[in-house]
Amino acid sequence: MYAVTRRLLSLPALLLRRSASKEAELLVLRHQNAVLRRQVPRVRYETADRLWLAALSHLIPRHRWAKIFSITPATLLAWHRNLAAKKWDYSNRRRPGRSPTPAAVKTLILRMAAENPRWGHRRIHGELTRLGHKIAASTVWNILNRAGIDPAPRRSGPTWKQFLTAQAEHIVAVDFLHVDTVNLTRLYALIMLEHGNRWAHLLGVTANPTGSWTAQAARNFLMNTGIVMTKPMFLIRDRGGQFTDAFDAIFTDAGLRVIKSPPQAPKANAHCEGLIGTLRRELLDSMLILNEHHLRRTLTRYLEHYNTARPHRGIGQLSPSQAETGPPTPIDLADQRVHRRAILGGLINEYQIAS
C-alpha cells in the first residue's frame, strides 16, 4: 500500500504544470502550517497520517522538509524505517521455540531433589523418563541450578526430619502422663508410642510412679505385648527419676538401645509429647476421672480407638492398624451406608461402612 501510494502521488507531478493558483494555495497552506505550529505544541498523528506524510516526503526535496512539514526530518525518516521494517518483518512466519517446562514438572523435579538428597540431575531425569515424561537432562540441570540446588549429588546430608522418618520403624518412645482426679489426687500413666506406625500402648497407671513400679510395668509389657511390636532398636526416654537402671536393663536385654533425651528438652521426644497432647485435647479435658481404675479403663478404650479408628496425618491419614495392612479399597460413599458408633459415652464417634 505504501509503494502504490507513492507512485500514485508522483503522477500529477509529472503530468501537470504548476500554476499561479497552486503556488498561492501552497503559500496559504504553509502559512496555516506555521500558525498551527505556534499554537499547538504537539500534534498527535494516527497511522494513516504517518503513511501519507511519509509518502509525500519523497516528492519534496529534503532541505525543504522543515518549512513544509510540522514534524522534524528525523521523525519522517523514522516513520519510513518503521514502514520498511514492517514490510520485511517475517517474525509471524517463524516457528515457535521449545515450549516451556510445565510448572507441575518443575515442582516435581524440586520435590524429588528435596526428598532424595543423593540424587543428581541424571538420576532425576531417569525417574521422570521411567514415569513416562520426555524431558532433556539439561532441562533438569537448569531447573535445579536456578533453584539454587546443586544438580550433582554433592548436596548436604539428609535433614533431621528425613533421618528420623527413615529410622522411625526402629524407634519407640515412653513418657508419663499425669491426670488429676475429681478429689485432686494425681495419677500417672506410662505411655509408649511406636514411631513407625504410631501404635500407642498403655504400660500402666499408678499414683506412686517409683523406679521399681516403672521397671515392673516395662517387664509386664514385654511379656504380654512384646511380640506385637515391630522389633524396634531404640527407646527414647527423658531423664526422670522413675526411669532407673533396672528399667533400662529390661529393654536392653530385649535388644533395644536406650537413648536419653537432653535435660528439659521435650522436643527431643516430640512424637510422644504429641500423643500426650492428643490425649488431653480429645479425652481428658472433656471428662472427669474418678480413680485409678477409671483412668486405666478410659485410656485403654481410647487407645483402642487411637490404634484402630483414628486417622493420623503422619501416616497418610490412615489409622495405625491400616498402616500395617495397607489403605482400604477406594469406594463411592454415595452408594454406601455409613454407621456411627459412639464410644466413651458419646465423647468420640467412630464411623464404619455398613456390611
- Residues 35-59 as b or e (16 or more Cβ within 10 Å = b): eeeeeeeeeeeeeeebbebbbebee
CA dist., res. 151 & res. 146, Å (int):
10
- Do residues 264 and 286 touch, judged by C-beta distance below 8 A? no
CA dist., res. 138 & res. 179, Å (int):
60
Architecture of domain 165-327: 2-Layer Sandwich (3.30)
Q: Give residue 227's pLDDT.
A: 46
Q: Which is it for the CA torsion 187, 190, 196, 199, positive or negative?
A: negative
- Do residues 317 and 311 touch, judged by C-beta distance below 8 A? yes
**Digit-coded pLDDT (tens) for 177-235:** 999 999 999 999 999 998 888 899 999 999 999 999 999 999 999 888 754 455 668 89
Determine the average pLDDT of the residues in 102-110: 88
Name the band, by pLDDT with cuts 50, 70 and 90, for residue 304. very high
Cell reading at 54: 511519509
Q: Give residue 231's pLDDT.
A: 62
Closest Cα partner for 203 from 166, 227, 174, 234?
Answer: 174
Say which residues have a Cβ less than 8 Å from residue 207's Cβ, sequence separation at least 6: 185, 186, 187, 188, 292
Name the band, by pLDDT with cuts 50, 70 and 90, for residue 40. low
Q: Is the pLDDT of residue 253 over 70?
A: yes
Q: Which of 12-16, 41-45, 249-253, 351-355 has the lowest mean pLDDT?
A: 12-16
**Which residue is listed with cell 514534524?**
71
**Digit-coded pLDDT (tens) for 14-36:** 455 455 566 666 666 666 666 66
- Residues 72-82 as b or e (16 or more Cβ within 10 Å = b): eeebbeebbee
